Amino acid sequence: MNIKNNALKNSRSVFINKKYIEVNGGKSLEGKIKISGAKNSALVLMATSILSKGQINLFNVPQITDVAIMSKILTSMGMNIKSNEDKLEINSKSILHQPQEVFTNLFHSLRASFFCIGPILARLGSANIPLPGGCSIGSRPIDEHIIALEKLGVQFKFKNNYLIAEVITPKKRLIGALIKFNCKSVGATKTLIMAASLAKGRTILKNSSQEPEIVDLANILNKMGAKVKGAGTECITIEGVESLEGCDYRVMPDRIEAGTYLIAAAMTRSKITFSSIEPKHLKEVIKKLEMCGCKFEYSDKFLKIIPNQILNSVDITTLPYPGFPTDLQAPFMALMTTANGVSTIKETVFENRMHHVKELNKMGAQISLKDNTAKVVGVKKLKASSVIGFDLRGTAALAIAGLYANGKSIIQGLEHLERGYEDFALKLKKIGAEIKHKKQN
Ligand code: UD1
């Protein structure tokens, strides 16, 4: 395996180092930010390569620890991965149905590790996979994946934190079925699209998630020779094929990274221009920022945000796409702490995604929380403080608050941030922020 040194170093540090962000806030920013490839797409596209014996070359892959961990996971399954800057060459000519035991913890550390199950079952007919992990934002069950895969002919057993799965059809090949998901699940929709691509016959997925990352998955699969139709709508049809080819594919831009920096620009009342961005994926976020008092200029290749000095409070409710993304709830709440008025922020996707509230209040915010609804009373100032990020997007939210507060803030939880943001501090430093990634001795 040859993955980038930095990313590898970072993936180790998830387990052994306490790292933090130091921000000297209160500065106005100006300049350009280039958006990286999407984490939530890259991770599933990496797993998709299991479906083909040919080589998959992915471009625009973000250099983040989740990608480094996913590379190790795939390598533990017998695959060969080479990386060069934003390119990953993935070869899965030979693949195991169970990872080597020494790598079990990697599976537990990443939710996206579970993306392997569908492709392995489709290709090998059996899989022994350690249960997945990820951010501590709720219980994150996998029942929708399991129930739907059972309909394609899989039998499951749980043993010692492992999921033991076997295709029980006569030829050990998955068989297409009609599936109606009980709830919208991005992960379950992805799992089923991958599995059904090599199944015998037609699979119809109803109540599917509609996220752009699902369209990206369908696009790569169709390039590999699959027959996936309707991605981006609630009904997706997959005609199974016998085999899939290798291909070259460019990962879509990260709409959550883009949204985070748009919010950071609004928070610091700074005019920032974005490249490699897809504004149509950010419609709901842009709409809410416009309601706050931000203006936007568009061209073919750029999006520029021009915030007012005084921003208005706006309410949000997180919802599956095309609604307001749960992944931007925490950053948007940070923005609302200094807006004019009172904002109501309702989290409906995950049941435990409000760890940042207490930390934002330590910085002088006035947020009260009842169940999963936060009431944010805008204040004029935040105070630089020492706070802790408990998950990926919550840590980004605290860093955004730190950019606004005059003076030096310390934000612990850099290991969460590095899971999903490529060069977070560097990108902000280039536009004038005083921000560093640091390591505790
Ligand atoms: C993905 C994203 C994550 C994002 C989330 C929602 C990746 C790697 N992660 O996570 O960043 O926040 O979508 O946009 O792409 N659920 C069940 N049973 C299941 C699966 C899900 O009840 O089998 C529930 C979950 O508990 C949650 C909701 O469905 O309340 C949405 O989860 P899901 O869309 O599956 O999120 P992930 O795919 O885990």
Contacts of 243 (CB under 8 A, 6+ apart): 52, 53, 198, 225
User: What distance in angstroms lies between residue 83's CA and the mean position of ligand 1's atoms?
Assistant: 28
- Counting from 1 in the atom list of ligand 1, the atom nearest the Cα of 111 is 8
Q: Work out the number of other CB atoms within 10 angstroms of the CB of residue 400.
A: 29
Decide: helix, strand or coil at residue 184: coil
Question: How confident is the model at residue 407, as a pLDDT?
Answer: 96
The full set of domains in the chain, from first to last, is: 2-36+253-439 (3.65.10.10), 39-250 (3.65.10.10)
Question: How confident is the model at residue 138, as a pLDDT?
Answer: 58
User: What distance in angstroms lies between residue 142's CA and the mean position of ligand 1's atoms?
Assistant: 9
pLDDT digits (tens, 9 = 90+) for 152-189: 999 999 888 888 999 999 999 999 999 999 999 999 99
Q: Are 282 and 256 in contact (CB under 8 A)?
A: no
**Whole-angstrom distance, CA of residue 194 vs CA of residue 196:** 6
Q: Which of 116, 135, 247, 292 is catalytic?
A: 135
Contacts of 385 (CB under 8 A, 6+ apart): 362, 363, 364, 405, 409, 410
Question: Terminal CA-to-CA distance of the chain, rounded, Å?
Answer: 30
38 or 100, which is more confident: 38
Chain-centroid distance of CA 310 in Å reads 31
pLDDT digits (tens, 9 = 90+) for 190-245: 999 999 999 999 999 999 999 999 999 999 999 999 999 999 999 999 999 999 99
Backbone angles phi, psi at 75, to 5 degrees: -65, -35
Which pLDDT band, with edges at 50, 70 and 90, does 19 fall under? confident
Q: Are 296 and 228 in contact (CB under 8 A)?
A: no
* CB half-sphere exposure, 127, CA atoms < 13 A: 28
Lowest mean pLDDT among 49-53, 54-58, 296-300, 361-365: 296-300
Is 294 among the catalytic positions?
no
Question: How confident is the model at residue 131, as a pLDDT?
Answer: 83
- Counting from 1 in the atom list of ligand 1, the atom nearest the Cα of 209 is 34
Question: How confident is the model at residue 159, as a pLDDT?
Answer: 87
Which pLDDT band, with edges at 50, 70 and 90, does 134 fall under? low
Average pLDDT over residues 418-436: 97
The beta strands (E) that lie in 35-132 are given as 55-59, 80-84, 87-91, 126-130
Question: How confident is the model at residue 16, as a pLDDT?
Answer: 41
Percent of the chain with pLDDT over 90: 83
pLDDT digits (tens, 9 = 90+) for 272-320: 999 999 999 999 999 999 999 999 999 877 999 999 999 999 999 999 9
**Whole-angstrom distance, CA of residue 235 vs CA of residue 289:** 31
- pLDDT at residue 60 above 90? yes
Average pLDDT over residues 104-133: 89
Which pLDDT band, with edges at 50, 70 and 90, does 14 fall under? very low
Which pLDDT band, with edges at 50, 70 and 90, does 136 fall under? low
**Whole-angstrom distance, CA of residue 57 vs CA of residue 89:** 5
Any ligand 1 atom below 6 A from CB of 40? yes
Question: How confident is the model at residue 233, as a pLDDT?
Answer: 98
Q: Are 354 and 372 in contact (CB under 8 A)?
A: yes
The β-bridge partners of 231 are: 233
What's the whole-number average pLDDT of the chain?
92
The β-bridge partners of 89 are: 57, 82
- pLDDT at residue 39 above 70? yes
DSSP structure string for 326-394: GGGHHHHHHHHTTSBSEEEEE--S-SS--THHHHHHHTT-EEEEETTEEEEE--S--B--EEE--SHHH
**Whole-angstrom distance, CA of residue 79 vs CA of residue 103:** 14
